Chains A and B, each alone.
Chain A
Amino acid sequence: MFRHVSTGKTRNKLLGGAATFLLTAVAFGQGAQATEELNALVWCDHTDPALIEPFEKKYDVKVNLKEYEGTGAGLSIIEQSRPGDWDVFVIDGVDVHRAVEMDLLAEIPADALPTSDIFPEVVMAENNVVDGKIYAVTEKFGYNTISFDKTKVDPKDMEDMSVIWSDKYAGRIAIYDYYLPVIGLVGLGLGIDTADLGADDMDAIKDKLFAMKKVSKQVGEVVSSQTALATGEVDILVGGGEWITAVLSEDKPNLDWVIPKQGGLRWAQSIGVMKESAKPDLALKFVQYILSPEGQARLATSSCYWGMPANAKAGVNLTDAQKAALRWDDQAGYLQNSQLYPIPDADLDAQMQDAWVEMLQQ
């Protein structure tokens, strides 16, 4: 009979060695240094150096950008920050009221904004103005609908929303991992307007979400969704739109998008100055730069995703090819056949998020 021989020194060496090894695996970096800095909580399209660098050079300032996806995530970051940490906030247009209720945004003087240059349909005063005071301004908009590879699927099939939960393209569908637009799209597919979507509709929506998950290949954020469609990993992206395909228009002309007959979701992002900002003047200058025709053209064609600029004058700074990819001339029809995101109250929002996690766990 052989017995196990215990060696305590060996254990100590093993644990010590493993700990040292793990510590060496930790990477660390250094923050950027600048005399004056502006901190902006933004969507990923603002992180394109081609957009930010002209402003930084002009005002000799370092713009620190923190990107997030989904208003909940943005508000969560703010809740974890100290007052004054953030100077500029880019937020979903439908959530500006929420930010104002939380006393996060400062009033912006009307004469500081190029409101008359903004496409009238996306001024969205009902979202950006509270009690007659402007707290944010629309900077970019587009659509969450269905993106697809037109060489691999029948484009006619994409005109009916029910394709996203049918078996026809099972295993070839990706879902954009943002519950609000996708639940809104499913609602449209069921004939429910986003403005009317309520708790009573959630059972029906859950059924369709689960059916959609069953036939999908993956659920991913912006980059992984775009990569999956571009590399042919999937052929359809639910929640996609020009923001996914336009940026790839030169390299991937096979990618297309459509607003189904039931309609699509219109996203609009707004930009505002944080109330607790210690640099409100510089923050306002940043907002004005983003809304200028030059800033708008750069934002519209940002490397992260493309989208329609809110400022109509940005057209002069865009090439014909860029305008074609953005479907500049088709906007009137698209605006008519699209609805804004659902605006759930806290309880409905919790129900929607629960339904989304349930779907992910199917």
Chain B
Amino acid sequence: MAQATLETRENRRAWGFVTPALLWTIAFFVIPFIVMAAISLATRKGREIVMAFNLDNYITFFEKAHLLKGLFVSLEITFTVTIISVVLAYPLAWIIAERVPQKWQRMALIMAILPFWTSYVVRSYSWLLVLAKNGVINNTLLHIGLIAEPLELASTRTATVIGFVHFFVMLLTLTIYANLVQMPPNYRRAAADLGANGFQVFWHVVLPLTLPGIMVGAFLTFVLCIGDYITPQILGGNNELALPQVIMLQLGRRADFPMAATLSIILMAVVTLAYIACARWLKMERT
């Protein structure tokens, strides 16, 4: 009897702790999501929104090549950025964790994330100036005679990828570094004692142990990159549209909220699939 009362009291306490977060999630995620899903089933007829509750917008998305292409552009850019960022961030995190003396590691990390202290928009515009025909890169290459004509760097997908990679390398460096410094050095020593060479130690011990850091960073990179509007808008020169840009066009130019909601749901579905793919490394329960 006393046991049951204790359990009830503990249950109540647990609910007391959970309820605010639950209400917050319901108010600011679940309800807006339901509203958005419902609006995605409406239709824009002329200048009116008709609550038709059909799948016309989803069908239109797959029928109209210029809308579907927005998704493919987003996926191509996102995968490219994620892979390049991981490849660049891992050695950087390794150098900070393993080669930089411990007393300087904090300073090295601050230096690594220093660009985060500037505005995201300002940073994107700065890249535009760096990559422009008369920008730092082209002027330097022309000056040292490596090129005869300026390279077309600004207003291209390459510019978008560079802008993203600059941002996400810093994020990934942090998550991988956090993993590296928590890895007990004995694991590597044990592997070496058992005859593993440097590459084998990295491949069989270090890499698997730092995979959670890589995957957390890669997942965050994927989510933030695929949903980003600013970088492709500023650096891409509107030469192709990523899905968030297509969504903004529906909202800003056409006031077509149903189609914007449809595209947003599709974007969410892609992020959900990415989460499922990474779930093994992202699960929150303690092991």
Contacts and interface: CB of A to CB of B under 8 A. Distances in A.
A236 to B, nearest CB: 14
B134 A217 contact: no
Given A4-B211, A18-B175, A76 B134 contact: no
B216 A11 contact: yes
A360 B238 contact: yes
Interface in A32-85: 70, 72-73, 75-76, 79
A232 interface: yes
Contacts of A22: 220
A72 B175 CA distance: 43
Interface in A192-228: 217-220, 224, 228
B253 A361 contact: no
Contacts of A13: 178, 182
Given A5-B208, A76-B255, A18 B132 contact: no
A72 B255 contact: yes
Interface in B219-241: 220, 234, 237-241
Contacts of A360: 66, 238-241
A354 B66 contact: yes
Q: How many B residues are at the interface, by size bracket?
A: 35 or more
A18 B209 contact: no
B119 to A, nearest CB: 7
Given A27-B119, A72-B255, A357-B249, A171 B179 contact: no
A17 B253 contact: no
A interface bracket (residues with beta carbon within 8 Å of B): 35 or more
A75 B49 CA distance: 14
Contact of A219 (B132, B204, B237): B237
B119 A353 contact: no
A85 B120 CA distance: 30
B252 interface: yes
Contact of B154 (A25, A27, A233): A233
B285 interface: yes
A112 interface: no
A346 B46 contact: yes
Given A11-B216, A76-B253, A353-B254, A346 B179 contact: no
With most chain A CB atoms within 10 A of its CB, the pick from B179, B213, B255 is: B255
Contacts of A358: 65-66
- Closest 5 A/B residue pairs (Cβ): A218-B237, A4-B208, A346-B46, A8-B286, A2-B204
15 contacts: A2-B204, A6-B212, A10-B179, A18-B216, A76-B251, A179-B253, A218-B154, A219-B237, A220-B237, A220-B238, A228-B155, A233-B154, A233-B155, A361-B65, A361-B240
Interface of B: 46-47, 64-67, 69-70, 73, 116, 119-120, 132-134, 152, 154-155, 171, 174-175, 178-179, 182, 187, 191, 196, 204-205, 208-209, 211-213, 216-217, 220, 234, 237-241, 246, 249, 251-255, 281-287
Given A12-B284, A177-B238, 15 more contacts: A2-B196, A3-B208, A4-B211, A10-B213, A11-B284, A13-B178, A15-B282, A17-B174, A18-B175, A75-B255, A217-B155, A220-B237, A224-B234, A224-B237, A228-B155
